[in-house]
Chains A and B, each alone.
Chain A
Amino acid sequence: MSIMAAVIEVTLNTTRDVLPIAVIIFGFQFFVLRRVPANLTAILWGFGWVLVGLSLFLLGLEWCLFPLGRLMAGQLTDPAFIQAVHGVGAVNWKDYYWVYIFAFAIGFSTTIAEPSLIAVAIKANEVSGGAIGITGLRISVALGVAFGISLGCYRIVVGDPIHWYIISGYVLVVLQTTVAPKMIIPLAYDSGGVTTSTVTVPLVAALGLGLSETVPGRNPLIDGFGLIAFASLFPILSVMAYAQLSEFRAKISRKKSGQ
């Protein structure tokens, strides 16, 4: 029963990771607030579900998604594959187009499945009284991540210094903040941080490492990092754009109904 053993092992590991959080939460609950929450049983069950769910999720990823993703990242960045795409002669940055497409596709699809983004989207939908759609928010974040990772891969291929990209990104964020609807700004800033967790980080790290190992002149120790920063920056822009678009559409429909 190796499956059972693996499940138990991963659950124990997750429990160890969650334990400090649980100690802090329940410690403060009982010793500082000195109140038992009304629905304690349901909450404890909820923690149980989270624990089991996260363990199964991680284990499943470890078995199906991560090995395949790593394998693909390796194969797509393999010099032999790139040379085959290019044909004869020296390779330039355009020949990595399958890498960019893969980066876009895997960035988009892993973000859609990211549990913490689902959590924030549920909350945002609830708080905004339905004005912010769960699916709309998740798709705009995913598009931002997808674009960010593709651009990050391009950066590794051409070898530009990372800070110029990130600093220009910041300038764009600041400029867009001045025109975006006030209501969306905190949520947009938050979306940068939530996109990169359980599903996205391991795959993206594999892609960055694979690229920086195989592109001539790159040092995996230095150039392999930075993709996550790209993936945290661009969702801020895309979520603000999503809110601007919604506002624009609402204005148009108001005008139409006014006539």
Chain B
Amino acid sequence: MANTLRKLLKAMLGSLRDLMPIFLVIVFFQFAVLDQPLPNVGELLVGVVFVVLGLTFFIHGLEQGLFPIGESMATAFARKGSVFWLITFAFCLGFGTTVAEPALIAVAAEAADVAAAGAMIQPDNASKERYADGLRYTVALSVGLAIVIGVFRILKGWPLQWLIVGGYILVVIMTIFAPPEIIGIAYDSGGVTTSTITVPLVTALGVGLASSIRGRNPMIDGFGLIALASLTPMIFVMAYGIMI
């Protein structure tokens, strides 16, 4: 108990240091550039306390829960030796964590507005909703596929850069054919899919797999899942834009 407290306290000092730059930027711009007083000081202070506590608890939980489970599952799958179940798990993890991602839901709704404004779909709510849902499942599918490809890469020991560069070339080619309205959203969708909880889990999975398979280097083979998960949505979203 005392040990946990000491760890939390140390983590809290770390969080304070991590958040300090944001506070300095806000204060500088508010007073020196915009010359405005701070609104709702009371609520702001409560918010600051919450942010510091929240980051502290999150980092603590990360080291206690997310990292160990990700790694122990990776080791267990490697020991079980069933590629089928590993790939199934990889797909479920990618698809399941993305389909409910709030940032993605927001971006999909905005994309539907853009599509309606660009007369790609009917401007009524039903078609917009259909478009947004279609986009959301497309992105989730692409992330599931990305994790599958990434896990397969770790098993085979393929160099990551060939996959990524190949993906880039595909992105460039598709940019030529995709409707201009969708390009900005497609490029952004790569960034919004990887949430705060997915990243530690997926990283621990990759590193754990690479550490438990002989001949793989966790540094070279363990990372790269996130990179693939941010690349495939761009390709799939543009494909979605071309098809609709």
Cross-interface CB contact of B96 among A16, A21, A47, A60, cutoff 8 Å: A21
Cross-interface CB contact of B187 among A109, A224, A229, cutoff 8 Å: A229
Selected interface stretch from A87-95, A161-169, A251-259:
A161-169
Give the distance in Å from the alpha carbon of A63 to the alpha carbon of B201 in the complex. Answer: 28
Query: How many residues of B sit at the interface, in one of the four size bands?
Result: 35 or more
Question: Does the CB pair A45–B220 fall under 8 Å?
Answer: no
Which of chain A's residues 203-259 have a Cβ closer than 8 Å to chain B?
221-229, 231-232
Residue B119, interface by CB 8 Å: no
A 171-198 binary contact with B (CB < 8 Å = 1; else 0): 0011001000011011101101111111
Cross-interface CB contact of B191 among A43, A75, A190, A228, cutoff 8 Å: A228
Question: Does the CB pair A42–B65 fall under 8 Å?
Answer: yes
Which of chain A's residues 16-71 have a Cβ closer than 8 Å to chain B?
16-18, 20-21, 23-25, 28-29, 32-33, 35, 37-39, 42-65, 67-69, 71
Please list 27 pairs of residues, one from A and one from B, whose beta carbons are closer than 8 Å in the complex, sorted by A's number: A17-B102, A20-B97, A23-B96, A28-B92, A29-B76, A48-B65, A52-B54, A53-B54, A57-B58, A60-B54, A64-B45, A65-B26, A81-B34, A109-B21, A112-B18, A113-B19, A116-B200, A161-B180, A186-B220, A189-B227, A190-B203, A190-B227, A193-B230, A198-B195, A221-B117, A229-B184, A229-B191
Interface residues of chain A, those whose CB is within 8 Å of chain B, are: 3, 16-18, 20-21, 23-25, 28-29, 32-33, 35, 37-39, 42-65, 67-69, 71-72, 75-76, 81, 98, 102, 105-106, 108-110, 112-113, 115-116, 118-120, 122-124, 127-128, 161-163, 166-167, 170, 173-174, 177, 182-183, 185-187, 189-190, 192-199, 201, 221-229, 231-232
Interface residues of chain B, those whose CB is within 8 Å of chain A, are: 18-19, 21-22, 24-26, 28-30, 33-34, 36, 38-39, 43-69, 72-73, 76-77, 80, 85, 89, 92-93, 96-97, 99-103, 110, 113-114, 117, 160-161, 164-165, 168, 171-172, 175, 180-181, 183-185, 187-188, 190-201, 203-204, 207, 211, 218-227, 229-230
